[in-house]
Amino acid sequence: EAQLVESGGGLVKPGGSLRLSCAASGFTFSSHSMSWVRQAPGQGLEWVSAISGSARNIYYEDSVRGRFIVSRDNAKNSLFLQMDSLRVEDTAVYYCARARRTTGDLSGFDLWGQGTMVVVSS
Amino acid sequence: DIQMTQSPSSLSVSVGDRVTITCQASQDITSYLNWYQHKPGKVPKLLIYDASNLQPGVPSRFSGSGSGTDFSFTISSLQPEDVATYYCQQYDFIPPTFGGGTKVEI
């Protein structure tokens, strides 16, 4: 069964850093673009970043560009999000999500992890 | 960025009712539009991809239509387990963007 499991969330002070991980299993990880999607408390879903299967193409939402870095290790079936210079407004549940299609960098997200909570507060 | 305007933001319905949600894109996104269901405490679930295609395993009471800038999502006969927030999402342009969500209650 295909599965995504995130880890690495927690409480951090403004300006601090966190590294989120997402472990994939049950599918050919390298064939799929992967994304991070977040949901702030009481808010809707917001796409954060995507990385193509080969890691050749990387995309960021404007508010995180220059502060967050997405990466992947296809040999270890793992996705990462390095989050630096964290702000209060980055507080959210962060989900890793798999692109449905194996062609192109973006499509619907057909597999989601359970989410990991990031709280940025002094 | 492409703005996705979803309406209504919430609705209260009865079991068996037909529910329709609309989503309007700020510019033409052809058919690159998906619909998700998000229940409290659960992860989002893809229901409809590319405007009108039912994701495998999703009940046939869910459907989607539209192209260009105007899209709709329908639950033909609401079931108690359909209580959730529903989101549209475009992926024709980067960044992919979600609508604000429609909370469906009974």
Residues B16-73: pLDDT tens digits?
999 999 999 999 999 999 999 999 989 999 999 999 999 999 999 999 999 999 999 9
Give the distance, in angstroms, between the CA of residue B101 and the centroid of all CA atoms in the same chain: 8
Q: d(Cα A60, Cα B25) in Å, to the nearest integer?
A: 21
* Cβ <8 Å between B97 and A47: yes
Distance between CA atoms of residues B69 and B28, nearest Å = 5
Residue with tokens 């998906």: B34
List the single residue in B1, B44, B98 with the smallest CB-CB distance to A112: B44
| Alpha-carbon gap: B7 to the closest alpha carbon of chain A (Å) | 14
Structure tokens at B57: 């395993």
A29-48 confidence digits (pLDDT tens): 999 999 999 999 999 999 99
B43 and A113: CB-CB below 8 Å?
yes
Collect all residues of chain A within an 8 Å Cβ-Cβ radius of residue B85: 44
> Distance from B59 to chain A by nearest Cα, in Å?
15
Q: Which of residues 80-99 of B touch A (CB under 8 A)?
A: 85, 87, 89, 91, 94-99
Cα–Cα dist A45/A27, whole Å:
25
Amino acid at the residue A34 = M
CA neighbor of B34 nearest in space, from B86, B82, B83, B79: B86
Residues B97 and B89: beta-carbon distance below 8 Å: yes
Q: Which residues contact B50 (CB under 8 A, 6 or more apart)?
A: A108, B31, B32, B33, B34
pLDDT at site A104: 79
Residue A105 has pLDDT above 90, yes or no: no
* B99 contacts B26 by C-beta, under 8 angstroms: no
